[in-house]
Amino acid sequence: MPDTRIVAVANQKGGVGKTTTAINLGAALAEQGQRVVIIDLDPQGNASTGLGVPLEDRELTSYDLLTGEPMVQDMLRDTAIANLCIVPANSDLASADVELSSRAGRTQLLRRKLSNPGEFDYILIDCPPALGLLTVNAMVAADSVLVPLQAEFYALEGLSQLLMTVREVRQTANPDLRIEGVLLTMSDNRNNLSQQVEADARSTLSGLVYQTVIPRNVRLSEAPSHAMPVLQYDPNSKGSQAYRDLAKEFLSRQLATA
C-alpha cells in the first residue's frame, strides 16, 4: 500500500473502547507486519500508559504536535511491539480546545503535521470522548473514522451525533472523509440487550458494521494496568483473538476500497 492511511478512532461517548481498540488494533496490525503509529490525542493519555510510556517520560507529546514546530517524526516513541510506535499525550491537551480556538486554520493543524508522515502503513488517532476541536482535527487529518460502539441501550442514539459531525467535516474541510466501520465492543452473547443492539446496528447501518465483535473479556480489562496490549499480556485470550480477527477484516476492507 503506497500511502499512509490515517484512521481516527472516535466516539464522543466515553467508556466505549476507543483506547482499547486503538491499542489492540494497532498491535494486531503490527503483528501482521504493518507499520503502525498511534497518536494519543486524549488528555487522559491512556493509550500512552497502555503502551508503556510513563507519565514522567513524555517530554514531547501530541500537544506539541498541535501547538509547536515539531513534526510527527520528531516525537515517535518505540513500544515493546515491533512495527508499533506512539506519539504520547498528557494533560496539557486538556487546554488545547481553548488555546487553539482563536488560531487561524485551527482545524487543519494536525493535517499539516501529518502531510508527510514517513514510512508507515497506518496512523491510528485515539480521540478524546468529545466532539471538540481535538476530534475535529483528527477527522480533518484522517482518511476515515472507525467508531467503537458499546452494545448498550443508548449506543445508536449517540452515534447519530457523531455521524452528523463527520458530515459537517466532509462539507467544510475534508470531502474525502469516510466511515471506516462501526465496531461493536463489550458485547456479551448471554445478554439479550447486547444481541438486540447488534441486530439494530446491523439493520440500521448495514455493511458499515464489522462482522468481528469485541467481547467483554477480563484480560482486555487487565492488560492496561500492566502497560501492554492484550495481545502481549495474554496472546491466547478471547480479547486477543477478537482483535486479530478485527485486524484481518480491517485489512481486507482496505484492499476492497484501494
How many domains does the chain divide into?
1
Please state the rounded mean pLDDT for residues 173-199: 90
Range of the domain at 125: 5-251
Q: Look over the chain and give the mean of its residue pLDDT values, rounded to a whole number.
A: 92
Summarize pLDDT for 91-148 with one digit per residue, the tens.
999 998 888 888 889 999 999 999 887 789 999 999 999 999 999 999 999 999 999 9
List the alpha helices (DSSP H) in the chain: 18-31, 46-50, 62-67, 96-100, 109-113, 133-141, 155-172, 192-205, 218-222, 230-233, 238-257
Spatial neighbors of 109 by CB under 8 A, at least 6 apart, are 66, 67, 100, 103, 137
Q: Tell me, what's the pLDDT at 258? A: 67
**In this structure, is residue 159 part of a structural domain?**
yes
Whether 256 is covered by a domain: the verdict is: no
The CATH number given to whatever domain includes residue 114 is 3.40.50.300
The C-alpha atoms of residue 61 and residue 92 are separated, in whole angstroms, by 9
pLDDT, residue 143, reads 96
Q: Is residue 56 part of a domain?
A: yes
Reported pTM: 0.95
Domain for residue 100, yes or no?
A: yes
